[in-house]
Structures are given as C-alpha cells and as structure tokens.
Amino acid sequence: MPAVLALDEDIGFWGTQAVDFRNQLDQVDGDIVVEINSLGGDVMSGLGIYNMLRNHAAKGHKVTTRVTGVAASIASIIMLAGDDRQMPTNAFAMVHAVRGDAFGTADELRAQAEVVDKVQASLRNIYISRMGVDEATAIEIMSKDTWLSAEECLELGLVNSVVDPVRATAKFDLVRADLPDHVAAVFKNQADPTDLTDPTLPTDPADPTNTPEPEAPNTPVAESIVAEASSLGLEAHAAHFALNFATLDAAKAQMGVAREITALCKVVNKSDQAAALIRGGKTVAEARATLANLLAASDQQIDNSPKITNGPTGTDPAKPAVVSPTSLWASHNSQKKEGR
C-alpha cells in the first residue's frame, strides 16, 4: 500500500512548511499518495513541495495526487506533481496569477514586478508542460481567479481521472478564503449525518426518551480561544477572538494573521496601530498598505532651498538696505544744525 501524506491547510506561512513536508517525505521509500485540500499560500514553499514530489517520482516511485476538497493557487501546482491526478466530482481547483506585496521607491517596485513576472513565467511553464496545453490557454486561465470543476479540470488536463465524490469539509477559515458563493457552499462545515446502522443508536430516533444527551465539551470554546491567544502573546485581543469565532481552529487561523500584523507594526514603530488593524479584520496585505500610507503621511517635508535676506546683514551684498525718504530728510536737517 502506498504511503499517504495530507495537505489540509495553507502552504507555508502558518500552515504546512516545506521543511515539514520534506521530513515526512524522506520517511517514504516507495509509492505515495498526496491528498490535497488547500487554498494555497506561499509560492516558494509550494514550488519546493512540487519539486520534492517530482524528485521522488524520478527515483521510480509512483506519485499520486488526489484533491479531496479544493486545490487553489499554488496548491494546484502541487497537484500537478502527480503523474496520476485524481479529483472527485464535487471538488474544485483554482488557478490565477502570481501576487506580491511591495512598497518602496519606483526602482524597488519595478524590481519587485520583474520578480513576479519571472515567478509567473515559471508557474506558467509548469501548467503548460504538465497539463499539455498551449501557452495561450495557460495565460488565459492565469489572467484571473479561474475556478474549475472536476469535469473542467479533466478537460483541461489538470487531472486525468474523476472519481466518486467525497463529503467535503474545510479546515481553513472560509471567511478569510473569500470563495465564490457556489464554491463556499460545498466547503461549509457540516455535522456528521446520523448513521442509523450504528447498533448503539436508538431504533426510533423520533422517540425523545431514546435520544442520548449530547456531551458537553470539557473546556468551553471561549476559554480555549482565550488560552490560545494568551500562549501566543495576544492577550490584549483574546476577547475579540472569543467573541468573533465559533471554533478554536477558526480563531487560531486569525491569530496567525494577528501575529504577523503585530510584528509589522513593531518593525515600523507603529505598534499603536495593531489593535485597530487586528480588530478591523484586516488581512496582512491590507495592514501593510495601511502602514505604508501612515509612514508616507508622517514624512516631514524639508525645504533645502537657500534662504536669502537682502541688505547689508544678508547674504546678497548687491542689494542695499532699504532707506526711507523720511530718514534721509531728518539726517539732512541734523547736519545743517551742526554746521556741516
């Protein structure tokens, strides 16, 4: 039986790191199945995982990738690392252009744009070579957020087989994911359906006397969220997380964003802005833009032009001091009285 590795969270950032994936892959000496349910994440981490899997295949091992929910952004590249690529009929993939955050001088912005173009070309070549499409098709699907059903993925060559559907659940924050409505509907967390074949369940579920009492959690969710926030140094925002998130997993995902925003504010000496950005639900990219604007607005405008003062005490000796006719006449009368 092949080993199974799962990617059920963001790639890089506060999700699955490339080094952790390598540590797991190094323990596999044979065929492997990689199950993917990820909205993507850091491009370089994803490229690293893609190349690790292609190297594993080059050793003669079969690499199978299977989408269990969604393979979006860089996760769609990882999906293409498999020679056998499977997707159930109710799963999705998403392809789009490379995005980057930058601020600075015009030269720095142009340099960042050149890097994005190079990374974009690298990913485009992977889509072309692994899917078997032409460059025009790759450019088209990367020009916007292109959401693809399993059948569309099969037609384009993203996958080479569509399998029986699985029931999709999400381990990522759907609010932060900003999915289209028809896609988000598939990934909403749902309670497991009652298994009427379970002999431990009542034979007549409609009979209230046979309905088991639900077990209360050992620790209330709010207390768990507050404890997690405190462990991450986010005590000041613990109440915010407890009030705005119904599950610990959802709160933890936003805590990762909060820690990044806190670090950014500290770096630019704007720690007083952290609370407003975090409690305003800002993303890391939005926080960067806000801080950049604040720094630009606080820059002092310095006038380096020379200051010139006319007259004998100034810096322009070519222009005499201003003398009034009244002072001249007074001087003339004084000289007459003195017999000059």
161-188: per-residue pLDDT in tens? 999 875 545 455 555 555 666 566 555 5
**Least confident residue range of 69-73, 79-83, 322-326:** 322-326
Helix (H, G, I), strand (E, B) or coil at 77: helix
Q: Are 42 and 11 in contact (CB under 8 A)?
A: yes
Q: How far is Cα 133 from Cα 164, in angstroms, rounded to an integer?
A: 26
- Residue 84 located in a structural domain: yes
pLDDT number for residue 299: 63
Query: Has residue 206 got a pLDDT over 60?
Result: no
How remote is the C-alpha of 252 from its chain's centroid?
A: 15
- Residue 333 located in a structural domain: no
pLDDT number for residue 201: 46
Query: Has residue 192 got a pLDDT over 50?
Result: no
- Residue 300 located in a structural domain: no
The pTM of the whole model exceeds 0.75: no
Q: Are residues 181 and 47 in the same domain?
A: yes
Print the domain residue range for 255: 221-294
Q: Give the highest mean pLDDT range of 30-44, 100-114, 159-173.
A: 30-44
Tokens of 235: 């005590």
Segment 117-147, tens digit of pLDDT: 999 999 999 999 999 999 999 999 999 999 9
Q: Are residues 242 and 172 in the same domain?
A: no
**Least confident residue range of 190-199, 219-228, 283-292:** 190-199
pLDDT number for residue 314: 47
324 in catalytic set: no
Higher pLDDT, 119 or 270: 119
Q: Are residues 186 and 225 in the same domain?
A: no
For residues 255-279, give the mean pLDDT. 86
Q: What is the mean pLDDT of the chain?
A: 80
Q: What's the Cα-to-Cα distance from 62 to each of 30, 116, 153, 161, 233, rounded to whole Å?
A: 7, 32, 21, 16, 44
- Residue 16 located in a structural domain: yes
- Residue 14 located in a structural domain: yes
pLDDT number for residue 253: 83
Q: Are residues 144 and 248 in the same domain?
A: no
Q: What's the Cα-to-Cα distance from 154 to each of 36, 142, 162, rounded to whole Å?
A: 17, 17, 7
Q: Are residues 17 and 153 in the same domain?
A: yes
- Residue 211 located in a structural domain: no
73 in catalytic set: yes
User: 5: which strand partners?
Assistant: 34
Q: Are residues 68 and 152 in the same domain?
A: yes
- Residue 307 located in a structural domain: no
What are the phi and psi torsion angles at 170 (to 5°)?
A: -120, 135
For residues 12-40, give the mean pLDDT. 93
Q: What's the Cα-to-Cα distance from 161 to each of 1, 32, 72, 204, rounded to whole Å?
A: 20, 17, 18, 41
Segment 208-252, tens digit of pLDDT: 455 555 554 456 888 888 888 888 888 888 888 778 888 888 888
pLDDT number for residue 55: 97
Query: Has residue 15 got a pLDDT over 80?
Result: yes
Q: Are residues 142 and 268 in the same domain?
A: no
Q: Are residues 18 and 144 in the same domain?
A: yes
Q: Are residues 138 and 229 in the same domain?
A: no
- Residue 314 located in a structural domain: no
CATH number at residue 47: 3.90.226.10
Q: How many domains does the chain have?
A: 2
Q: Are residues 165 and 245 in the same domain?
A: no
Which of 38, 45, 56, 73 is the catalytic position? 73
For residues 294-306, give the mean pLDDT. 60
Q: How far is Cα 174 from Cα 71, in angstroms, rounded to an integer?
A: 14
Q: How far is Cα 205 from Cα 288, in angstroms, rounded to an integer?
A: 54
Residue 103 backbone class (left: φ over 0; alpha: ψ -120 to 50; beta: rest) = beta
For residues 106-119, give the mean pLDDT. 92
Q: How far is Cα 95 from Cα 149, in angstroms, rounded to an integer?
A: 12
pLDDT number for residue 322: 52
Q: Are residues 160 and 56 in the same domain?
A: yes
Query: Has residue 331 got a pLDDT over 80?
Result: no
Q: How far is Cα 159 from Cα 235, in angstroms, rounded to an integer?
A: 45
Which of 61, 96, 149, 224 is the catalytic position? 96
Q: Are 264 and 291 in contact (CB under 8 A)?
A: yes
Read off the amino acid at residue 310.
N
DSSP secondary structure letters along 271-300: GGGHHHHHHTT--HHHHHHHHHHHHHHHPP
